[in-house]
C-alpha cells in the first residue's frame, strides 16, 4: 500500500455533455428552464472555461426575464465584457450540434455527476492536506471527514419531480407490504408493549426515536427492555451502546429482568438454590439472542457511527440500535461548553442520518432538563428536552417518561389533576399484575406513564406501564388494573 495518496493531475469532466446542455438551452426555452433549475455555474468544469461563461450569461438573462437564444446570449456576453473569451461562432457551433433537446435531463445528470466527482476528489485532497499538518483528535478528524464526504455524496443524483402515477405506485407497494402485517397490525419491530405498539405499529425502519426522562426515572431500564423485546420477539440482531454503565451491569439487569431475581441479590451474590436455577435459565435464554453491546464510556459520535455501520455490514438483518444516552456522546475531544447546544444539534442530525442510512430504527435515550421539576404538575413536555430544540425536530417519535412516585420519594408533591399527582398511597393494588414469581414489596412496583408526545407518522397519547424496579422490568398492566387507574383519575 502506498504511503501517500496519488495526486490528481486532471479533474474529471465531460465537455461534450456540457456543450449538449448549453446547445439545448439555446434552442428550447423549456430545456433552458430545466437546466437553470438543476445546475449552477460551478457544475461546469474548467476543461473548457467558455461553457461556464455561456451559462453565466444565460443565468443573467433569466434573472432579468429575457429570453435565451444565441443572439441574446451574445449581447449579454458583450455586456459582461466576456465576448473576447466566447465568440459568436462558438455559440452557433453549440446550436448546430444539437439534433433534439429532448435528452436534456440525461446531459444534465452527466454534467452534475462529474461536478460531484470533482468536488469529492478535491475534498479528499483537503483531508489529506489537513492530516499532513497534524491531527491531535483522530476521532473528530474522522467524523468531520466522514460528514464532509457524506454531504458531497448526497448531491450525486439530480432528482426530478415524480408523477402522480409514480407516487401512487410506491404507495400501492407500501400498502401491499402493510397488508402482510401480523394480526396486531405490526409493520415494524415489536416494542414489547401492546398499547405502545398500537401507537407506533412497531419501531419503523429509518426512524429516530427519543426516549427522555429525568435521572433515575427508569429510561435505561426501559431502553434495555426495548432492545431485549426486539431480539426476543422478532429474532433480529440488536445493537446496544451503553455510554453510562459497563456491559456487565446491563447484563445483570437483563438477567434480573428475565429471572425475576432482584438485581440487588444478583450483585451481592446472596442467592438461594432456586435463585441460582432461575439465573442460569435466564442467562441461557439471553445468550441465544443476537444482542451486541458496546460500553465505551463517553463514546465519540464518529465511533458510534462507525461501529453501527460495521455491525450492519456484519449482520445485514440488524433490526434495532439503542443508544444510552445522547448527553454523553462526545462530538470532539475538546468541547466548548458554550457551543454544546450546537454540538447536540449536530449529534441529533447525525443519529437521524444514521437511522436512514442503515434503514433501521435507532432509539436514543435523552435527559429532560430541570424545568420539569419546577413545574406544578411535574409532567414533562417537549420543550423539556435538554440542550437542543433540534432533538424534537429531528426525531420521528419522542416519548417522555413520568413516574409520580419518583417525586414522592424526593418529597415533592405534584399539583396537577388526574394522574399527574402523587398517588403512592392511593394507587390500586398491583397484585393482579404481578407475574407468577415469588412475592416482592409492593412499593417496588411503580406506575409509569410513557407520553408519546410526538409521532410523525401516527397518533400521540399516553401508555401505562408497570415498572418493577427490583427486576428492571416493565410490563403491560392488566385491563382491570388500567380500569381502576382510569376510575381514580376520573374521580380526582
Helix or strand run (H / E) with residue 446: strand 445-455
Question: What whole-number distance in Å separates Cα of residue 324 and Cα of residue 347?
Answer: 14
Task: Name the phi and psi angles at 367, rounded to 5.
Answer: -100, 150
Is 244 part of the annotated catalytic residue set?
yes
Question: What whole-number distance in Å separates Cα of residue 149 and Cα of residue 120?
Answer: 7
Give the DSSP letter of residue 291.
Answer: E
Cβ contacts of 318 within 8 Å, gap of 6 or more = 236, 237, 238, 239, 311, 312, 358, 360
- Give the count of beta carbons closer than 10 Å to the beta carbon of residue 28: 19
Cβ contacts of 75 within 8 Å, gap of 6 or more = none
The rounded Cα 408 to chain-centroid distance in angstroms is: 35
The DSSP string of 27-81 is: H-HHHHHHHHHH--GGGS-STTHHHHHHHHHHHHHHHTT---SHHHHHHHHHHTT
| Catalytic entry in 60, 244, 285, 290 | 244
Determine contact, residues 32/108, Cβ cutoff 8 Å: no
Helix or strand run (H / E) with residue 355: helix 340-358
All 3 cell numbers of residue 172?
A: 400501492
Distances (CA, A) of 31 to 1, 34, 106: 47, 5, 11
Rg (CA), the chain: 30
Catalytic residues: 244
Amino acid at each position: 500500500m502506498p504511503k501517500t495518496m496519488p495526486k490528481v493531475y486532471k479533474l474529471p469532466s465531460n465537455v461534450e455533455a456540457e456543450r449538449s446542455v448549453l446547445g439545448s438551452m439555446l434552442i428550447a426555452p423549456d430545456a433552458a428552464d430545466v437546466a437553470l433549475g438543476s445546475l449552477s455555474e460551478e457544475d461546469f468544469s474548467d476543461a473548457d472555461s467558455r461553457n461556464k461563461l455561456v451559462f453565466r450569461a444565460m443565468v443573467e438573462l433569466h434573472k432579468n426575464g429575457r429570453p435565451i437564444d444565441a443572439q441574446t446570449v451574445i449581447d449579454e456576453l458583450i455586456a459582461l465584457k466576456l465576448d473576447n473569451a466566447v465568440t459568436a461562432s462558438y455559440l452557433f457551433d453549440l446550436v448546430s450540434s444539437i439534433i433534439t433537446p429532448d435528452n436534456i435531463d440525461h446531459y444534465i445528470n452527466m454534467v452534475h455527476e462529474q461536478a460531484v466527482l470533482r468536488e469529492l476528489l478535491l475534498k479528499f485532497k483537503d483531508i489529506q492536506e489537513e492530516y499532513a499538518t497534524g491531527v491531535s483528535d483522530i476521532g473528530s478528524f474522522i467524523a468531520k471527514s466522514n460528514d464532509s464526504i457524506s454531504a458531497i455524496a448526497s448531491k450525486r443524483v439530480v432528482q426530478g419531480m415524480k408523477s402522480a402515477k409514480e407516487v401512487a405506485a410506491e404507495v400501492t407497494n407500501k400498502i401491499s407490504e402493510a397488508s402482510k402485517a401480523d394480526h396486531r397490525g405490526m409493520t415494524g419491530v415489536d416494542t414489547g408493549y401492546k398499547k405502545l405498539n398500537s401507537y407506533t405499529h412497531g419501531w419503523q425502519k429509518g426512524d429516530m426515536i427519543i426516549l427522555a426522562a429525568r435521572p433515575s426515572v427508569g429510561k435505561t431500564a426501559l431502553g434495555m427492555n426495548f432492545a431485549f423485546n426486539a431480539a426476543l420477539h422478532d429474532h433480529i440482531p440488536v445493537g446496544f451502546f451503553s455510554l453510562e454503565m459497563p456491559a456487565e451491569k446491563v447484563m445483570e439487569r437483563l438477567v434480573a429482568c428475565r429471572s425475576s431475581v432482584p438485581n440487588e441479590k444478583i450483585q451481592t451474590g446472596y442467592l438461594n438454590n432456586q435463585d441460582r436455577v432461575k439465573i442460569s435459565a435466564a442467562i441461557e435464554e439471553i445468550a441465544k439472542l443476537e444482542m451486541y453491546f458496546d460500553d465505551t464510556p463517553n463514546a465519540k459520535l464518529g465511533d458510534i457511527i462507525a461501529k453501527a455501520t460495521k455491525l450492519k455490514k456484519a449482520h445485514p438483518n440488524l433490526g434495532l440500535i439503542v443508544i444510552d444516552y445522547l448527553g454523553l456522546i462526545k462530538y470532539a475531544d475538546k468541547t466548548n461548553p458554550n457551543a454544546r447546544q450546537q454540538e447536540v444539534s449536530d449529534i441529533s442530525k447525525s443519529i437521524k442520518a444514521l437511522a436512514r442510512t442503515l434503514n433501521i430504527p435507532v432509539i436514543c435515550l435523552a435527559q429532560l432538563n430541570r424545568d420539569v421539576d419546577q413545574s406544578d404538575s411535574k409532567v414533562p413536555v417537549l420543550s423539556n428536552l435538554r440542550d437542543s430544540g433540534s432533538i424534537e425536530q429531528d426525531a420521528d417519535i419522542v416519548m417522555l417518561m413520568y413516574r409520580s412516585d419518583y417525586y414522592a420519594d424526593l418529597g415533592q408533591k405534584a399539583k396537577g389533576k388526574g394522574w399527574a399527582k402523587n398517588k403512592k398511597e392511593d394507587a390500586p393494588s398491583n397484585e393482579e399484575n404481578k407475574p407468577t414469581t415469588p412475592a416482592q414489596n409492593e412499593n417496588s412496583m411503580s406506575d409509569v406513564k410513557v407520553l408519546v408526545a410526538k409521532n410523525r407518522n401516527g397518533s400521540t397519547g399516553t401508555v401505562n406501564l408497570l415498572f418493577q424496579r427490583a427486576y428492571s422490568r416493565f410490563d403491560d398492566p392488566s385491563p382491570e388494573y388500567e380500569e381502576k387507574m382510569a376510575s381514580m383519575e376520573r374521580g380526582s
